Amino acid sequence: MSADLLAVDRVTKSYAFGGLFGRGAFNAVDDVSFTLDTARPEIFTIVGESGSGKTTLARMVLNLIAPTSGAIRYRGTELATVRGARARMDFMRHVQPIFQNPFEAFNPLKSVDRYLFMTARRFTDARTTAAIEACTDAALQKVGLSLAEVKGRFPHELSGGQLQRTAIARALIPGPALIIADEPVSMVDASLRISIVNLFKTLRDDLRVSIIYITHDLATAYYISDRIIIMQKGRVVESGAARAVLDNPRHPYSILLKDSVLSLETIGEGILGAARAGRQQRPRHGESVA
Amino acid sequence: MTDERPPAANGAAPGPPLLSVRSLRAYYQMRYFGIVREVRAVDDITLHVNRNEIYGLAGESSCGKTSFIKTIAAANRPPLNVIGGSVRFSFLDRDIFGLSEEELSRVRWKHLSYIMQGSMNVLNPVRRIRKSFLDFAFRHIGRPEREFFDIVERHLDRLHLSPAILKAYPHELSGGMRQRVTIALATICRPEFIVADEPTTALDVVVQKGVLAMIREVQQEIGSSILFVTHDMTVHANMADRLGIMYAGRLVEEAPTREIFANPLHPYTAHLIQSLPRIGDLSPKRALPGAPPNLSAPPPGCRFHPRCPLAMDICRRENPALTTLGPGHRVACFAASPEVRPTSGESDAPARAPALASPLEMRQ
C-alpha cells in the first residue's frame, strides 16, 4: 500500500436533496477506485461531460470535501485523518491544485505575485524576501516565465496563457508530488493550449510530478495522458491505458464521447455536412475548391 | 482593399455580398492626463460575407475579434472609436454608422442578431424565458401576444426545446438548453445576418456537437449568413464555409475552409492547424514561441514577425497587404509569395505616444 502515491478506494459522494417530503440522495461520485504509483509519475486523465462528477472527485482528492463512503489515501495516510492546521499544511505541500479559469482563480484586486510569495512563505524554507523571490523565480522559470515578467502585475495585465502558467508555477512552488488540474486548458486559446499541455509533459518527465488531468477534451487527453478513466453520472464506465481506450472505446458512452469530437477529416462539410446534404440541394459553399 | 469582389469560388451567392466591410479601423482611444493612447484592435480589415454562408473568424483572445464584432454591429462605445472604413449591409441603404440610435434598434434582432458567448450569464436570471422572448422579439414580430407565442413555440420545437421551458428561469435549464434558448432568441425574427461569438466554448463535447448542428440547421432553414467567431479551429473546420484568420487586429489570411486547411499560406495559420491535437496522432506538437503583441505598441511591419519562423528583413519594416493568391484565397505574408506588396504607408505609422504605450512597460 505504501508504494501508492494516491489510492482512491471505492469512493462515493452523495448529496441529499429534497425537503421533508420526497427526500432522495444523488450520487455525484459513485464507487470510484484508482491508484497512482509513486515510482512512476504519470498523467492520469479523468474524462466526462459536465455533471459527471469529475470536479467532485478532484475536490475529494484535494481533501476539500470528504467522501460519503470509501477512503482516499495519500502515501498510505487516509485523508479523513488529516486534521488540524499543521497536518493539512503538510498535505497541501504535496498535493496542489490548478483551476479551470485563471481569471477567476486569482483575485483581480491582488497582484499575482502575492499568491506566489504567500505560497513560498508558507510552504518552503525561504524566510528572507530575497530567498522567497528566488524560489518564486525558480518556479516561474520552470513554466517559461520569470519573476520580472510577473512581479507587481494584476491578473488583467497578463494574458490568459501567462496567467494559467503562473497558476501552474504557484502550484509548483511547494515541490508537490501530485498536481490536480481541473480543466486547465478549457479557457485557454488554441495556440496556448498546446504550450500548457506540453508543459504538463515536461512536469511529468523532468520534475517527476504526477498529474491528475481533468478534461472533456479527448484530443489533448489522447495527446498527453498515460492512463484514463471515463466517467458518466459519477460512475467509471471505462478505464485503462489512454491510447488503447481512446483508439478503441468499448462502452457506449465512451463511443458517444469519441464520436462527438469534431473531426478534422471532414473539413468544409463536417458533422453538419450530412444535415446539409439531406436537407436541400443548395450548392454547397467552399466545395468548388476541393 | 485588394479584393473588391466576393470570391468567385463561392458559387452559391449571386448578387452583392450581404455584408461588406472596407478597410475598417477601430481603435480604443484613451486619454490619461493629456497623453493619448491608442489600442489598434481592428486595423484595416476588408472582408465580405455572402448570403447564406457561414464565415468563420479565428484568432486568439485579444486579437480584436470581439472589437470587430462590436464595430460591425455599430455597438461600439467609447473608448472604442471607429477611425475609418465602411460597413455596408445589403439590407441597409447606407453605412451602418450613419444610422441613428432609433434606426439601429429597429435593425437589431430583426435583421442583425447576435448569439452570445456565455449563455450562463446573458439570460436575465430573474425573468422567465418567456419574458426574455417578449423583451427581445415581440416588437419586431408585431403580432398579438398569443400569435407571437405560437410562433415562438414552433421555433423552439425546431430547436428541439419543449414549450415548457418558456415558464422556466434560466437556472433551471442545463447549459446546452440555455445555449439553445439564446440561439432561439437570435433566430426567432429570421434575421439576415447573425453574429455568433464563441457560442460553444463553455459547452462540453457532446452538447457542443448538437448545438453546432442546430446552428447550421437553423441557418439553412432561414437562409441567413453567420459570422462565426471562435478560436477553436476544429469547430471552424466543421462549421465555416470560408475562414478568416485574425492576428493582432489584422486579417492575415482568408480562404474557403478546405483550402485553408489543405494549403495554409500564412505561417500563423499553418501553426494553428499543425498544432491541433487529434485522436490517433502522437507526433509532438510545438507551441509558438512568444506572446501575441500588445496592440497599444504593435511591432513595426508585419505584426507576426517576432514569432514568425519565416521572418525576413522586409517583414520587420513593411506591413504586407492582403493579396489574392488563389481563388478566394487572400493572404498577408511576404513569405507566401513575391506578389505580396507592402500596404500603402498609413497603417504603418507608429501608435501615438509609444513611450507610454504599454501598461506593462510603464512599470519597468
* Tens digit of each residue's pLDDT (9 = 90 or more) over A204-236: 998 899 999 998 888 888 889 999 999 988 899
> What are A108-158's pLDDT values in tens digits?
899 999 999 999 998 888 889 999 999 999 999 888 788 888 888 888 888
- Shortest alpha-carbon distance between residue A63 and chain B (Å): 26
Which distant-in-sequence residues (6+ apart) come within 8 Å of A73 by Cβ? Answer: A1, A4, A6, A7, A9, A79
Residue owning grid cell 455525484: A28
Q: What angle do CA A156, A108, A89 make, to 5 degrees?
A: 120
Q: Do B258 and A283 touch (CB under 8 A)?
A: no
Q: Where are the domains of chain B?
A: 1-53+74-98+241-275+290-364, 108-230
C-alpha cell at B174: 442545463
Are the C-beta atoms of residues A268 and A259 closer than 8 Å to each other?
no
CATH dotted code for B108-230:
3.40.50.300
- Outline where chain A has alpha helix (H): 54-61, 84-94, 102-105, 112-123, 129-142, 147-150, 160-172, 190-206, 218-224, 242-247, 252-260, 270-279
Is it the case that residue B354 has pLDDT exceeding 50? no
pLDDT at B2: 42
Is the CB of residue A87 less than 8 Å away from at least one CB of chain B?
no
The residue of chain B nearest to residue A282, with distances taken between CA atoms, is B12
Out of A197, A267, A285, closest to residue B261 by CB: A267
Domain A4-106+175-248 annotated CATH 3.40.50.300: yes
| Residue A267 pLDDT class (50, 70, 90 cuts) | low
Contact B237 A270 (CB under 8 A): yes
Residue A36 in contact with residue B192, Cβ under 8 Å? no
Write out A221-270 in H/E/C secondary structure.
Answer: HHHHCCEEEEEECCEEEEEEEHHHHHHCCCCHHHHHHHHHCCCCCCCCCH
pLDDT greater than 70 at residue B115: yes
Contact state of B261 with A288 under an 8 Å Cβ cutoff? no
Which amino acid, one-letter code, is at B337?
S
Q: How many CB pairs under 8 A join A and B?
A: 181
Confidence of residue A180 (pLDDT cuts 50, 70, 90): very high
Task: Tell me if domain B1-53+74-98+241-275+290-364 and domain B108-230 are identical in fold.
Answer: yes
- Is the distance from CB of A215 to CB of A45 less than 8 angstroms? yes
Helix (H) or strand (E) holding B210: helix B205-222
Tell which A residues from 171 to 200 touch B, by Cβ distance under 8 Å.
189-192, 194-195, 197-198
Which residues make beta-bridge pairs with A36? A6
Is A243 an interface residue toward B (CB < 8 Å)?
yes
In which band, very low, low, confident or very high, does the pLDDT at B15 lie, cut at 50, 70 and 90?
Answer: low
A185 or B349, which is more confident?
Answer: A185
| pLDDT-based confidence at residue B1 (cuts at 50, 70, 90) | very low
User: Do B278 and A222 make contact, defined as CB atoms within 8 angstroms?
Assistant: yes
B1-53+74-98+241-275+290-364: CATH number: 3.40.50.300
pLDDT of residue A268: 57
pLDDT at A272 over 60: no
Q: Out of A189, A220, A264, name the one closest to residue B237 (CB).
A: A264
* Nearest CA-CA distance, residue A261 and chain B, Å: 6
Task: Give the mutation candidate from B61, B204, B307 for the A interface (greatest A CB count, under 10 A).
Answer: B204
How distant is the alpha carbon of residue B152 from its chain centre?
27
Tell me the chain A residues in contact with residue B209 when contact means C-beta distances shorter than 8 Å.
260, 262, 271
- Report the residue count for chain B: 364
DSSP B264: -
Model confidence at A34, in pLDDT bands (50, 70, 90)?
very high
User: Å from B363 to nearest chain A CA?
Assistant: 8
Q: What is the mean pLDDT of chain B?
A: 82
Q: What percent of chain B has pLDDT over 90?
A: 13
pLDDT of residue B96: 87
Interval B38-80: pLDDT, tens:
888 888 899 999 988 999 999 877 788 888 988 888 888 888 8
Give bridge partners of residue B228 from the DSSP assignment.
B56, B196
Contact B213 A272 (CB under 8 A): yes
Asked if residues B186 and B114 have their Cβ atoms less than 8 Å apart, the reply is: yes
Question: CB-based contacts of B239: which residues, under 8 Å, 6+ apart?
Answer: A270, A272, B54, B56, B212, B215, B216, B228
Are B206 and A49 an interchain contact pair (Cβ–Cβ within 8 Å)? yes
The CA-based angle A152-A155-A161, given to 5 degrees, is 110
Binning pLDDT at 50, 70 and 90, where does residue A181 land? very high
Mean pLDDT of chain A: 83
C-beta atoms of A190 and B205 within 8 A: no
Report which of residues A247 and A265 the model is more confident about.
Answer: A247
B155 Cα to chain A: minimum distance (Å) = 18
